[in-house]
Amino acid sequence: MLRCEEISPGGAENLDYKLIKSKMGYVIDMDTPDEIVIGGPTYFVLHVKYKGRSSHAGTSPEKGISAIQVASLAISRLKLGRVGKGTTANIGIIKGGKNMNSIPEDTEIFAECRSLNDETAKELANEMTNTFQQAAEEMGASVSIERSTALNAYSIPTDSKVVQLAVKALEKNGIKPDVKAIAGGTDATHLNHMGIQTAVLGIGCRQMHSTEEYAVIDEMVATTNVLITLVEDMA
């Protein structure tokens, strides 16, 4: 079993692929049993640290440089949310300041962007990086930006064996297949890049990544029957 998917792809990244002989696989991770995911995004993570200058907020605010204000300026200029088709950007964490009566010297931001198109993701990451840097220059602060690639985009042909087997298994169980690419990350990204052509199938869950997540038992049973059909057809 692969672990750490919710906080990182650590399980899939650290798997010893020399132990796997199969060149085809399935990850069970989507909402509904009809879903067959055949593509995923390039995904960048940006860790931004602003360094301003502290000062007393009441007696000498003009001597300080607010790192929170610098971060706010940058964020106000970013394209966030659904930037384009298959492309999104988000500020997930921002934290800074120590005292109510001090100009905050340090502020930290964790941001992300992703796209089903690799070049689009790179362009958006570059644009975000430039925006963070420009805000620091304008306000006299310093900035450090660590940028990492969490995922690289992949796409499986719809006529590939792994997809067609899944389509037939769903249809045999009375389910109309919904074949698509998504901007969410799954372990399938790493499996595909390691030479194991892998599609993602639904599991019967709702409200994933929230405190209201729940499972639909009938759909879990349906997914189980689809998996049984897949094994029987491959055998």
- For residue 10, the model assigns a pLDDT of 60
Q: Helix, strand, or coil here: 188?
A: helix
More confident residue, 117 or 187: 117
CB 150 within 8 A of CB 43: yes
Confidence of residue 1 (pLDDT cuts 50, 70, 90): very low
pLDDT tens digits, residue range 8-38?
A: 566 677 788 888 888 999 999 888 999 999 9
Q: Give me the phi and psi of 136, to 5 degrees please.
A: -65, -45
pLDDT tens digits, residue range 48-89?
A: 999 999 999 999 999 999 999 999 999 999 999 999 999 999
Q: Distance from first CA to last CA of the chain, Å, rounded?
A: 22
Position of tokens 């199969």?
A: 22
pLDDT tens digits, residue range 76-130?
A: 999 999 999 999 999 999 999 999 999 999 999 999 999 999 999 999 999 999 9
Whole-number mean pLDDT of the chain?
92
Q: For residue 48, what are the β-bridge partners?
A: 109, 145
- For residue 184, the model assigns a pLDDT of 87
Residues 172 and 154: their CA atoms lie apart, in Å, by: 28
Residues 152 and 190: their CA atoms lie apart, in Å, by: 8
Q: Give me the phi and psi of 65, to 5 degrees please.
A: -130, 110
